[in-house]
Amino acid sequence: MYICLCNGISDKSLREVVRRYQPKSIQELRHLVPVGKQCGKCVRAAREIMEDELQHAPLYKEIA
């Protein structure tokens, strides 16, 4: 499903970016992916996906 229609960003690609880089804020996420740079309608959905993925992300200690 597309989250950002203006830039063609899907929920799958957004989840992959969050899992890989684990941004701490929507501003950090926007530096990684051009979400919310046009109309801004996708920011709420992007924030929800980011928070959901960060809750399920393993802690650094669990990875190492």
Q: Quick: pLDDT tens for 7-41.
A: 999 999 999 999 999 999 999 999 999 998 889 99
CATH classification at residue 43: 1.10.10.1100
Where residue 6 falls among pLDDT bands split at 50, 70, 90? very high
How much is the pLDDT for 37? 87
Contact 46, 14 (CB under 8 A): yes
Coil, strand or helix: which one is 47?
Answer: helix
- Cross-strand pairs, 2: 10
Count up the domains in the chain and report the number: 1
How much is the pLDDT for 59? 64
HSE value, Cβ hemisphere, 13 Å, CA-based, for 12: 1
* Residue 60 vs residue 51, higher pLDDT: 51
Q: Which domain holds residue 49?
A: 2-63
